[in-house]
Amino acid sequence: MATPTHKTATAAHIRNFCIIAHIDHGKSTLADRMLQGTGVMNERNAREQTLDNMDLERERGITIKASAVSVDHVWNGQTYELNFIDTPGHVDFHYEVSRALAACEGAVLVVDATQGVEAQTVANLYKAVDADLELIPVINKIDLPSAQPEERAQQVEDVLGLDAADCIMTSAKSGVGVKELLDAICDRFPAPQGDPEAPLQALIFDAVYDDYRGVVVYFRIINGRMKRGDRILMMGAKRTFQVTELGKFRPQMVKVDDPFEAGDVGYMVAAIKTLGDVNIGDTITLDTARCDEALEGYEEPVPMVYCDFYPSGDTQFDELRDAIARLHVNDASYNYEPTNSEALGSGFRCGFLGMLHMDIIQERLEREGRVSVVQTAPTVTYEIDCIGKGGEREMIQITNPAELPDPSKVKAIREPIVAAEIITPTGSIGDIMKLCDSRRGVYKNQKFLADDRQILEYDLPLAEIIYDFFDKLKSITSGYGTMDYHVTGFKQDELVKMDVLVNGDAVEALSLIVHRSKAEQRGRHLLKKLKEQIDRHLFEIPLQAALGGKIIARETIKSVGKNVTAKCYGGDVSRKRKLLEKQKKGKDRMKRIGTVDIPQGAFMAVLDSGE
Amino acid sequence: MPDHSAQAQSLYLHLPFCFHKCHYCDFYSVVDNPGPKPGTAATDAQTPRPAAATDRQPAFTRALVAELEAAHRAAPGPGLRPRTVFAGGGTPTFLRPGLWDQLLASLHQAGTLEHTTEFTVEANPETVTADLMQRLAHGGVNRVSIGAQSFQKASLDALERWHRPESVRSAVDACRAAGITNLSLDLIFAIPGQTLAMLDDDLDRLLELEPTHLSTYGLTYEPQTPLTARLRVGRVTKVDEDTERAMYARVLERLEAAGFEHYEVSNWARATPDRRYRCAHNLAYWTNANWLGLGPGAASHHHGHRWRNAPNLTRYLAHWDQSEPTGPPPTEDHERLAPEDRIGERLMLGLRLSDGIEHNWIQANVPAGHRRAAAIDELVAIGMLERTATHLRLTRRGLFVADTVVAKLL
């Protein structure tokens, strides 16, 4: 921890900006290079990709949580404070992106010189434009042999409507163009506006949990002033705290003694115990001199994808509960509540922003929480129009097929629909349209992007894209297709609940809601997959798929025919025991339902569409 | 070597020499002097003459005798007094008769065989001669286990087993002529290309020889054997599981009908009230008795402590074939199980026996409420285990899937 410092710039010399890029287009490397360019880091102390904090982020090469770094840069003989606000790069984290953008005046738009504009670049650009941000287009990776910087710059003009001549050519790898970019940020991005004398309005754009300080809140002051010792109010959460520390990330946390004013970006510590107490997008004001209105645009993040976690192997329910709660202190982006399944016992139903988000949480639970979990197949939220217990018509939301009321009470089932934008090579258009049609997509529009690229717009049921849609898209387009989507609403369709019976018992964790026209095909395929997943047992295991009481598909797992070691003499004992123990350990990691051991993979078999 | 010789109830001797390695075999063996494949080169098979330069048999015999003497010295009282002795390999009958004489003389000199009631030697039919059998019988060997494996040329070829089908009968005759009448024959089934009819023919030919004991093994593809390598590259095809099961069922049915008692997963003894043809040496393994193994690769067990001599003839000779052995002998794979794991091991071994395990032992070692007790109840409920008046044992159905059953009890 460095000693407290004073602020280096006033609003006129502050530039708040973010970088918008598609995954793999080099955002993190460019950010690192910019930090080095300002002398904050040198090659030696730079960990690769400083801004991606979590191991998981570094491993996956993506940014999951937003963060902010303040650096000084001298331009035209004057020192500027550049506040770089990082944004998550994945479709699941739209909301966090929009909050980060709201804290900025400018956005650097990175386009890969080899790959060109991608769906997410477009989607995030629209958000930046909506947030009235000034834009600097950057063509990165210009040193690669397959780079086409001039063509990409033209594409930026054609597709995004930015002047090709404004593009800055960089290679984050070699550092070419980085100084020009830093100069352009000081030159072209506007200084923050805002009235330091007005009542305090500060936007929370991120928060992290620190073992020593508790919650560290990332904020941007829009109006007013804040200093250490102030009693603050979170307007949405309606909670008050006392500010104990203010500072900036340079990139390590550095305390700042001076008050923060309109335009400043930094962090705050205020004895906040869990991330659940802080809402991204909330407005901070002074408890004693409140502003009239909160800043616009605050939304509770709405989980769209749900699944259950159950303890497996040696993990006990209590251990799982502790691990989930502990992780939640660190990452409040998911929600959870206890649930109970006849087959799987006690566990938690968790809501996520999307599939990647779900994968990340599961992995962090297992890695950081050291628990072993069985995860059920993810489902979306459904709206059920039904007759309630008292006979009155009511609308309920379910996140689990098992919660579906008796079919006789159900009037209609509505599912979430997304507006999807798919950028695809022109040659793959036909196959992508076929894919969308097979997923009950409704065609909306087709736009020209470049000679070899088109944008397809479809409305698709979310349930149809949470499993293998993205993989299919990638394989049809040889990896070149990209997609962005957001949920637009709910729509009624002919949806039914399909039950799966293992050895005669319905396994709720395997049931799913499907479109009636696809039920039989899905059922047959699901049972085939289950058959591959479940080992042969000492008895025959029938597998059935059923709608209501009607069996629509069946399979049988034959019992083990012969499995007996022929020779077991003196020298064979140890080896044989170890072999059998290995066999048994494999079983221990499975979930026992009745007398059948079901591996984790079986629960995910539900996801395979069989197309 | 741990000093456990005194309590050893059984003695195993590993004689590693072979004239050819069969492709399914993963026992430790060495081929110093390759013999001709019978029926290919010479018209009459003879014990191949060793070439002096690579002949390690005399040194090995000296070394084994030295290891035996050391074991005697380590044992308190009179020395090693095993009830059973088993010479396995390798091919024990490939050790030259003169060297066998030395080995047997050493055993007698030390009084090792004083309490021995069963002394078995494993034999490859091609290497059994009347002369050798007489010397063995004279030296106290009273049981011979002959690796017949099959009587079909095609099956023997598939196993790369170099003996002629007809030499099994001459081997049996040679043993009987020498006065060794307790004869066991080995049979392998589920050999690539084998049909049920071929198995039936093998069983007919086996039974014609009127052995007192039979071992029948479903072919196992052991790791790091040429056969498994061939399987991996698709040059042999496994008999499918249904056929293998049917073959095992056929073996059970035929041998029971022929008056044999099925007393272990793969072992049969001619039925007598005193059970005298059951292999006492192998029963020692399955009842977790203590035994001492000598020779390279030989395994030993003493009250839950398992180890083996390093399977390396060169190192074995370097240690034992010197006038004053120094340093510890090369041993490896030492294992001392926790009491809880020993119970699992005992269940694994004991359930291989058709008698099973005594209720008394189970009550003392598997308390009610223990996960093993629950597993036993479940296995009884689905018909894999059954309780007789005195024992818990595999049912006929459980026998076919004994490994799956036992894995639940470890």
Long-range contacts of the stretch B276-282 (C-beta < 8 A, 24+): B277/B182, B277/B212, B277/B213, B278/B213, B279/B118, B279/B120, B279/B143, B279/B184, B279/B213, B280/B83, B280/B84, B280/B117, B280/B118, B281/B10, B281/B12, B281/B84, B281/B85, B281/B86, B281/B118, B281/B120, B282/A569, B282/B86
Max mean pLDDT range (A7-16, A500-509, B397-406):
B397-406
CB burial string A212-251: b at 16+ within 10 A, e below: ebbbbbbbbbbbbbbebebebbbbbeeeebebebbbbbbb
Q: Which CATH architecture has domain B339-407?
A: Orthogonal Bundle (1.10)
Higher pLDDT, A255 or B85: B85
B290: closest chain A residue by CA = A570
Share of residues in chain B with pLDDT > 70 (%): 94
pLDDT band at B319 (very low <50, low <70, confident <90, very high): very high
Identify the pLDDT of residue A268.
94
CA A88, A89, A94: angle at the middle one, nearest 5? 70
The ipTM, to two decimals, is 0.89
Q: Which of B336, B406, B408, B409 to mutate to probe the A interface, most A CBs <10 Å?
A: B406
Max mean pLDDT range (A312-326, B26-40, B224-238):
B224-238
Residues A197-227 pLDDT 10s = 999 999 998 888 887 888 899 999 999 999 9
Cβ contact (<8 Å) for A565 and B403?
A: yes
Tokens encoding B283:
């029963």
Contact yes or no for A108/A180 (Cβ under 8 A): no
User: Is this prediction's pTM over 0.95?
Assistant: no
Question: With 80 as the cut, is the pLDDT of residue B36 above it?
Answer: no
Tell me, yes or no, if the two domains B5-285 and B339-407 fold the same way.
Answer: no
Tokens encoding A322:
């502790």
Query: What integer is the mean pLDDT of A319-340?
Result: 85
Domains defined for chain A, CATH in brackets: 2-188 (3.40.50.300), 201-286 (2.40.30.10), 305-377 (3.30.70.870), 382-493 (3.30.70.240), 496-605 (3.30.70.2570)
Identify the pLDDT of residue A63.
41
Residue corresponding to tokens 């001669």: B129
The kind and range of the H/E element at A397 are strand A393-398
**Which residues of chain B make contact with A574, given a CB cutoff of 8 A?**
306, 333, 335
User: Which residues are paired to A384 by β-bridges?
Assistant: A396, A413
Question: With 80 as the cut, is the pLDDT of residue A105 above it?
Answer: yes
User: Which residues are paired to A214 by β-bridges?
Assistant: A210
Residue corresponding to tokens 């955002």: A27
Label residue B173 exposed, middle or buried (CB < 10 Å: 0-12, 13-18, 19+).
Answer: middle
Identify the pLDDT of residue A240.
93
CA dihedral B358, B359, B363, B366 (to 10 degrees): 70
Which residues touch B383 (CB under 8 Å, ≥6 apart)? B395, B397, B398
DSSP letters spanning A150-182: HHHHHHHHHHH---GGGPEE-BTTTTBTHHHHH
Q: How far is the C-alpha of A281 from the C-alpha of A207, rounded, in Å?
A: 10
**Which residues of chain A make contact with B400, given a CB cutoff of 8 A?**
560-564
Q: Is B241 on the interface with A (CB under 8 A)?
A: yes
Identify the pLDDT of residue B40.
56
Residue corresponding to tokens 């205020």: A270
Domain boundaries, chain B: 5-285, 339-407
Right CATH number for B5-285 from 3.50.30.30, 3.80.30.20, 3.40.50.10490, 3.40.50.300?
Answer: 3.80.30.20
Main-chain dihedrals φ then ψ at residue A458, nearest 5 degrees: -135, 150
Q: Is A584 on the interface with B (CB under 8 A)?
A: yes
Q: Which of A541, A564, A589 to mutate to probe the B interface, most B CBs <10 Å?
A: A564
Question: Which stretches within A11-133 are classed as H helix?
Answer: 27-37, 55-60, 94-102, 119-130
Q: Is A540 on the interface with B (CB under 8 A)?
A: no
Identify the pLDDT of residue A493.
94
Question: How many other C-beta atoms lie within 10 A of the C-beta of residue B180?
Answer: 21
Residues A365-398 pLDDT 10s = 988 888 988 888 888 999 999 998 888 999 999 9
